[in-house]
Amino acid sequence: MSKKAKVSIFSLCGLGLIAIIFAVFSLKKQLSNTEELATSFPAYLVKEQEPLVLDGVVITKDEESYYVDPTKGEVEEVYVKDGQTVAAGDKLFSYHNDQATQEISDLNRQKNRLYGQMDDLKQQLNKQETAKQTAKAEAEKAKQQAQAVKTTEDSSEPMQDTKQPSTDTNVELPAFDPSVFDEQIDATKKAIKELNQSIEDMDININRTSEKTSAMVTAMIDGVISINQKGKTNPTEVFMKLLGSSNLIQTAVTEYDYYAVTEGLETDIYVNAEDRDVKGTITSVAKEPLQGAGMAGGTMGQASSDLSKYQVLVKPETSLPLGFNVQVKVPLKGLVIPETAIITEEDGEYVYKVEQDTAIKTKITRQKEGLQLIVTEGVALGDIILSQPDDTVTDGQSVVTEIINEDVE
């Protein structure tokens, strides 16, 4: 390679090195200018509030208690076992009443005597009707005989002078009078009718008493049976308890979180023992506080025993074992932002929303719910705001942000 060529190469390398140094210097200066224009600030990503978490327990929705009724007799047979699942209408137990059985025996004897009296009255009625017919027939026969005698006598008499007056007279025949017989027959028929009514009343009493001899007790709802053997002989104690298969979650909120629970609100339910979540719906919110020691309804930092607590019932979408401990997660409506992000001025409250790396001063509106201030205007879900703006921030300023979200109380 010639000396001239070497000089050319070294010249080109020198020029390239100078160009690189100039480019690095220019980039460094540009970055320096950018840093001067854009200041870095911590930011907050507006998101939904953490749910209100309430401790609860699974209880039954329906419950039926069955006591032994001594007036129905003694328990004769039990058709279920302790812990057995039953359906509405299933047999639980039955009674046997010795006293009712004896009463039925006495009633049947009285009924048989009434039937005996009925037979006597029917025979008497038959005799009375027969006597009436006989008397009527005899009267008719006597009339016919008298008429026959008269006819014979008339035919055997000699012809008399028509000029002489006739001395013949008609024979008076005895008349049949049924009234005497009818009075007796009507009286007997009336007695038979009254006796029939007495027998009908007796049958009703027998049927009613029969129900007491072997009364049956059946399940009113679907559920699980719990048996207390002491209650079988002691009417003051529950003999059987039927816990309905439909269940609820029982929990409570303090006066500070009362605003957050409403009937019909959907919730998530975490089942501790099964490590799973199920859906639920609030079905009842008490209007009056619980008396005495409240339930263990854990709330957002409010755990003082001096606070009033209100019972809340939640219906899970699937059946859960009775007595299980759960956590009810109630979604909180509205947006809450850090107090450090808010700039208070005479005409209201402001925040700096970050849009395209630019801080935009935005007026907001808040309203108080419980212990929290909920943003109602100015900020939406997903917005980014400066969480700790200082006095140097101005509207329209370019900013560099680092999202640092912490739970907002």
What does residue 357 show for φ and ψ, rounded to 5 degrees? 60, 25
Buried b (16+ CB within 10 A) or exposed e, 353-381: bbeeeebebbebebeebbebbbbeebbee
In the predicted structure, residue 75 carries a pLDDT above the cut 50: yes
User: What integer is the mean pLDDT of 228-252?
Assistant: 93
User: What integer is the mean pLDDT of 259-263?
Assistant: 92
User: What integer is the mean pLDDT of 193-211?
Assistant: 86
**Backbone Cα Rg of the chain:** 54
Range with lowest mean pLDDT among 76-90, 115-129, 166-180, 328-342? 166-180
pLDDT digits (tens, 9 = 90+) for 286-296: 999 998 644 44
User: What integer is the mean pLDDT of 339-356?
Assistant: 93
The H-or-E segment that residue 284 falls in is strand 276-285
In the predicted structure, residue 229 carries a pLDDT above the cut 70: yes
**DSSP category for residue 160:** -
For residue 271, what are the β-bridge partners? 276, 326
Residue 296: the pLDDT is: 44
Strands 216-218 and 348-355: unpaired
User: What integer is the mean pLDDT of 382-401?
Assistant: 91
Alpha-carbon span 214 to 207, nearest angstrom: 12
In the predicted structure, residue 235 carries a pLDDT above the cut 90: yes
In the predicted structure, residue 131 carries a pLDDT above the cut 80: yes
Per-residue pLDDT band at 34 (split at 50, 70, 90): very low
What secondary structure does DSSP assign to 25-74, as a single string? HHHHHHHHHHHHH-EEEEEEE--PPPPEEEEEEEEES-EEEE---GGG-E
Between 59 and 179, the more confident residue is 59
Residue 156: the pLDDT is: 64
